[in-house]
Chain A
Amino acid sequence: MHEVSIMYQTTIEELKQKAIQLRQTAITMIHEAQSGHPGGSLSAADIITALYFKEMNLDPANPKWEDRDRFVLSKGHVCPIQYAALLHRGYVPFEKVHTLRQYGSPFQGHPDMKKCPGIDISTGSLGQGLSCAVGMAIAGKRDGKAYRVFAMLGDGECQEGQIWEAAQTANKYQLDNLIVFVDDNNLQIDGTCDEIMPNLDLELKFKAFGFDTRRIDGHDMQQIVDTLDEIRGIQHGKPICIVCNTVKGRGVSFMEDVCNWHGVAPKEAEYLQALEEIAGGLK
């Protein structure tokens, strides 16, 4: 089998520093566009960093490399954090950082695989990404490929029934090459998930659907990396779900756990404060 290891080998400290850069880049993009979704971008930042800068087998010079690991951002509205990862990994020239949500930009308001190198599937309508990831994972199995498919879901998004249609299919086809992260920040547009539509225990739900599950702190880089180390190479015929306890807006004091920062861009003073607080790293 064709195996090319181009993993970034980085220490936990380096990954933490990278997460700071990605957060700053994402907030900068949203600030410049005066449009976008900061809250969920920040809650997903540490997981995205670990995936793009340590775990995933990628070749930024060849975004369509057929043996690459795939990443599906089912909660597509937090794409600024994924765009930040793609920028920092060299998929897109860094000057494009200024083009979020502009006409002709690779950085559409939601991920567009036709416009942005490194996007494996277009997303934006919630609840649909896991099905796409399942399709990719089945193809990988059938083709005898070693690639893995990583998907990131929002907890609010798990209210969509299609998530569970996809989950049952992942179980049926024994997709141990599928790793699902749930960014469990307990906030959605109209309020907390508990208020709007209780998710109950998402880990238990995925377990009931046949997944091998974990629950971790989605902002603890050591724990994220340890978990990825632990599941790498597993061949037990079960899809894997890692439910991550996260905080929406994490890293910016006035955004943390504040529902309203779901889809609002920071003004100048807020932006400068955010950059400064992020630079201090996660407390």
Chain B
Amino acid sequence: MSIQQSNVAEKKIATREGFGHEIVELGKKNKDIYVVDIDIGKSCKTTEFAKQLPNQHINVGIAEQNAAGLAAGLATTGKIPFISTYAVFGSLRMLEQIRQEVCYPHLNVKIACSHGGLTPANDGGSHQAIEDMGVLRTIPNMTVIMAADYASTRKLVAKAAEHYGPVYLRFTRDTVPVIYGEDEEFEIGKAKKLKDGKDIAIIANGDTVHLALKASQLLENEGVSVKLLDFHTIKPLDREAVMDCLSTGRIITVEDHNILNGLGSAVSEVVAEEGGAVVRRIGVQDRFGESAPYEKLMEMNGITIENIVATAHSLLKGTR
């Protein structure tokens, strides 16, 4: 494990950049990899792919539903299409098409979405994707991934291309701190343990992992032993990793997603079935966002280092 220490001024980069860079490399190596753009290639970082690999690039214009069906058709011929758009459209606007034409026939289509969670902050509530991972994880055959930083995004995009079947990948518009070294390896469905501890477990994904990392450092400074996990894959959920947290008796989940049906819900399902821990879910509080700076939106919903620490304190004060 080579976590980049953040004592020096931290390096930040949006994970959509990771997708943009990795997909070009993958496309050069494998001529079956296609990108299906929906007019927002510039925002979604696919313009370089379009430029370098025009024969593997399709732009359908502003027509998400068509993109999903078209990608399914491509996949039946052996192509590996990556549909690229914003998370809110890539999940909800084309949801039924994803269900019917991608997941139901179990086709090898990837839905690679920028602007996940609250990160399209200034665009307002219409553009913030707070339900996407939850909705998509309830569709059979679908894999759902949100990587925490640039390096893990690149690795998981590559893994998604190798994995046969539908995958939903969610990236950030805003920059997020670099957490992992370039040599770190990732596996779909296998959570990454960043710290091992016995008093409390913190489970985070995507753009909240760095918050959880800092909160855990603060807690450790107080003498609290923290187990910290990056659940980059919320489906299939790493049940073993959740069960590994049960011994602490206290679990905090942190996500840039509605607390309903996202990471916190997925973890809670396992805890409810296995027993042995109290779960507190930090995330979007089942309400729409509005135009505001990203940090302000995270603060509004308590998705902050301070709230993770405060939640840990309240759990530690309990009888467990």
Contact = CB atoms under 8 A, between A and B. Distances in A.
A114 B70 contact: no
A169 B36 CA distance: 12
Given A124-B100, A168-B61, A169-B63, A131 B76 contact: no
Contacts of A120: 76
A140 interface: yes
A142 B106 CA distance: 23
Interface in A121-137: 121-125, 128-137
A128 B74 contact: no
Contacts of B106: 114
A244 interface: no
Contacts of A133: 73
B52 interface: no
Interface residues on chain B, size class: 20 to 34
Interface string A93-114: 0000000000000000000111
B175 interface: no
A71 to B, nearest CB: 12
Q: Is the interface of A mostly helix, strand, loop or mixed?
A: helix
Interface in B90-106: 96-97, 100-101, 104-106
B176 interface: no
Contacts of A139: 73-74, 77-79
A139 B66 CA distance: 15
B43 interface: no
Contact of A138 (B63, B65, B70, B78): B70
A176 to B, nearest CB: 17
Contacts of B60: 165, 169
A222 interface: no
A162 B73 contact: no
A250 B60 CA distance: 38
A165 B93 CA distance: 14
Contact of B65 (A113, A123, A131, A172): A131
A65 B74 CA distance: 15
A207 B73 CA distance: 23
B257 to A, nearest CB: 27
A230 interface: no
Contacts of A129: 69
Nearest to A147: B77
Contacts of B96: 125
Nearest to B99: A125
A276 interface: no
A175 to B, nearest CB: 11
A120 B76 CA distance: 7
B66 A169 contact: yes
B101 A121 contact: yes
Given A128-B97, A168-B61, A121 B70 contact: no
Interface in A161-193: 161-162, 165-166, 168-169, 172-173
Contacts of A162: 63, 65-66, 69, 97
A134 B73 contact: yes
A66 interface: yes
Nearest to A145: B77
Residue among B66, B67, B72, B100 with most chain A CB within 10 A: B66
Contacts of B81: 135
A3 interface: no
Interface in A75-91: none
B40 interface: no
B100 A135 contact: no
A135 B55 contact: no
21 contacts: A112-B104, A114-B105, A123-B100, A128-B65, A128-B97, A128-B100, A130-B69, A131-B65, A131-B68, A131-B69, A131-B70, A132-B73, A132-B76, A135-B77, A139-B77, A139-B78, A142-B55, A162-B65, A165-B61, A169-B63, A172-B61
Interface of A: 66, 70, 72, 112-114, 120-125, 128-140, 142-143, 161-162, 165-166, 168-169, 172-173
Given A66-B78, A131-B68, A162-B65, 8 more contacts: A112-B104, A131-B101, A132-B69, A134-B69, A135-B73, A136-B73, A136-B74, A139-B74
Interface of B: 55-56, 58, 60-61, 63, 65-79, 81, 96-97, 100-101, 104-106
Chain A to chain B: the 3 pairs with minimum beta-carbon distance, closest first? A135-B73, A131-B69, A165-B66
